[in-house]
Each structure stands twice: as structure tokens, then as C-alpha cells.
Amino acid sequence: MNIPRSAVPQAYQKASSASTTPSIPSVPSVSLEKPEESRTFAEIAAALSEAINVQESIAKHPEPVPEQKLPELNLEDAPSVSALYESLGLEQSPEVATALENDVLREIRDMKLWMERIARQSSGGRELPDSLQELRDLLLEQEMDAVLVEEWISNISERWVDEGRTWGPEKFMGSLKEQIDGFLTGRIADGIARDTQIVYIAGPTGVGKTTTIAKLAAEQLFKHGRKVGFITSDTYRISAVEQLRTYAAILNVPLEVVQSPGDLQRALFRLESCDLVLMDTAGRNYRNDILVAELQSLLAKELRSETYLVLSLTSKSRDMKLIAEHFGRYRLDKVIFTKLDETGSYGPLFNVLNDFPLTLSYMTDGQNVPDDLLMATKGQLSELLLGTGET
């Protein structure tokens, strides 16, 4: 098709203006090497098409925008869950508060496990003096968590460096005893308080709860002159009721057997002349939340009470933590460690005290009633951990 020559310059001008669109300054202009007179309409159309394709390519693949750094978040300024509830005019129920607290504790424990793995990986590259390395190995052999061990060893190492690296073995041992003493501060409690009316003994099966109750009763009777009564809800095992009945007869204390909250109220009424009531709860599989929850219905909240968790030192450290986590949903106050004489590893005791808000009150080191009941002390625990004392 023939096109007038005078129309060619106008078509070229349109193609040229399209190739230099102001909205996209980076589009290169189309260079036409041949003189305008020799250009055909097909060549002009091809140039125009090429310019449009370049524009579309740039629109689909724009130049990267410099990455902007997000502002840092200050977690300390973040409102708490309770504050959010208050700001919304909502009331936070005890169940929600307990669930949130359990979630926080679980996250803290997960973080400690993560830190423990890092501590194991990083501890190999640090050079310690022989005396301090021996103490570190001793603590790990006692099955103490690596995070707690590294915390103590790091504190001692820093002091050793600050004081000129001139310590002898006795100085390292003394510094470790100071770390243990500081750790136990606030984590050891006295025995049963004088104004306590009822003591609940909780724990899994096979840790020696019934025998421990008999020892506590003998202590209160003979050392403090208090009139004691027994209550047991452990009707799942006939032997447990008969065992406590035997102890009650020997100590000459009354015994009540309950199976429901109504029975508990009647039992407390019949034992109102007693200064202290010791209640043996049923041994529960701590992995069964329904069975553990039954304990909550048997707590007399109107009385001044203490709840003791009984743990056996022959259990694995991980199992002891899981037990404390499950039973901890129902307001535990203190912990009793049993079977002190049946193990040589005392690190798990420190692990539990480090991970849970429990205070250590008693320990047992045998089955003799009432002799094998010990009041926990800092010196005794230090000697057990470091292997310098006797069980």
C-alpha cells in the first residue's frame, strides 16, 4: 500500500514522542539510524511497537525500592494482658489468668531448654582452670541443668579473672558454695506453719505420700504438741487406707475416709477439735488431667491451708518437672522430696526449685516413722550436691 511521503515525518514524530513518555524517565529513546526519507511505514510501526514493549517491561519489573528498616519494638512498653482486659472494661476470670500464667511458664521453660542447648555447644570452646572445670563436671554429673551450671560457673570465672587469676582449689570450692547459698535463699521454707489448719499432700503414685503423712503427724504431735487428725481420699487403693489406718492407731489420732466434697465437709466437722488435719489425696497419674482435676474439688478454701507436692528423687528430672507442671495448676505451696537415701544424684532437686515457684520444706531419707524426716537446710543441700556430706 502506497503512503504519501509527506505523512512519514508525522508518523516518526508520534513514534518518537511515545518512546520518551514523561511518566517513565528511564525508558531509552528509540534511535533510527536511517534517514527519515528512506523509512517506510512498516519500519516506523516496528519502532513504535518496540518502544511500547520497553515501557511495559519496565512497568512489570520496576527498579527495587530501598528497604526501609522497621522501628524497633520495646517490649517493656507493651501492655500486659491484664492491662488490656482493664482497658477494654473486661474482667479477667481466675481460670483465664491461670491458663495465661501456665502458658508463660511453659514458654519460659522452653526458652531455658533452648538456652541449655546453646550452653552445651558454647561451653566446649571456653578454657577454664582445672579446679573450676572439675567442679563444673561434678555439677553436670549430678544431673543439674546445663543452663544453671553455666550460670554459676560463669559467675565464678568472672570473679577469678577480676581477682587476678590466683585462686587455689579451696577458693573455687568456697565460691561455688556461695553460689549455692545465694540460689537457695528464698527457696527454703520452714515446716508447717502454726496457724495452718489443714495440710493437703498431693503427688503421683509411688512417691511415699502416706508414709510422709505419718512422719509429719509424728513431728507435729511430739515436737509441737498439736492435736492431729487424718483424712484420706485415696480410696482407689485399699492398701493405702489400711496403711494410714495403721499409722492412725499407732499415733492415736482420728481418721476419716472421704469420697466427695460433701464427705470432706462432714469429716472436717467431726475433726474440728483437732489443731491440724493432714489430708492424704489419692495418688494420680499426672498425665491424666481429669484425675488431677479431681483434687481441686476436695480443697477447703475457707480454711488456712498449705498444699505440699511430694516428689521422689529417684524419678528422672524431666518427669519431676512434668509432675510439678501438672499439679501446679492447683496452687502448690511447698515441696517434699522423698527417697533421699535411694539416689546419689541431687541436681534434679535444684532443677525443680529453679523452674517452679515452690519452696522446699522437708526431705525424707528412709521409711522409719518418725525418724526419717529432715528439715531442709542450705548447708545440708550444699553438702549433698557437692558430695561432701552423708545422706
- The partner residues of 231 in beta bridges, in order of sequence, read 256, 279
Q: How confident is the model at residue 354 (pLDDT cuts 50, 70, 90)?
A: very high
CA distances from 35 to 43, 48, 130 (A): 12, 16, 90
How much of the chain exceeds pLDDT 90, in percent? 41
Residues contacting residue 322 through CB under 8 Å, at least 6 positions apart: 286, 287
Delimit the CATH 3.40.50.300 region(s) of the chain.
198-386
* 361: pLDDT strictly greater than 60: yes
CATH assignment of 198-386, given 3.40.50.300, 3.40.1350.10, 3.40.50.2300, 2.30.30.40? 3.40.50.300
Which candidate, 134, 165, 135, 129, places its Cα nearest to that of 152? 135
323 within 8 A of 286, measured Cβ to Cβ: yes
Alpha helices in 185-255 (DSSP H): 209-222, 238-251
Strands (E), the chain: 198-202, 228-232, 255-257, 276-280, 305-312, 334-338, 359-364, 373-375
Q: Measured over all CA atoms, what is the biggest interatomic distance in the chain, rounded to whole angstroms?
A: 129
Cis amide linkage into residue 71, ω under 30° from 0: no
- Please count the residues of the chain: 391
Pairwise CA distance, residues 24 & 59, whole Å: 9
pTM above 0.75, yes or no: no
Average pLDDT over all residues of the chain:
76
Question: What values do phi and psi take at 367, rounded to 5?
Answer: -105, 0
CA-based R_g, the chain, Å: 38
**pLDDT tens-digit profile of 36-73?**
445 565 565 566 556 555 555 554 454 544 444 434 44
Question: Which range has the worst mean pLDDT, 51-60, 83-92, 297-306?
Answer: 51-60
Q: Of the ranges 62-66, 189-193, 293-297, which one carries the lowest mean pLDDT score?
A: 62-66
Using one digit for the tens of pLDDT, what is the confidence trace for 232-267?
A: 886 666 677 888 899 999 999 999 988 777 788 889
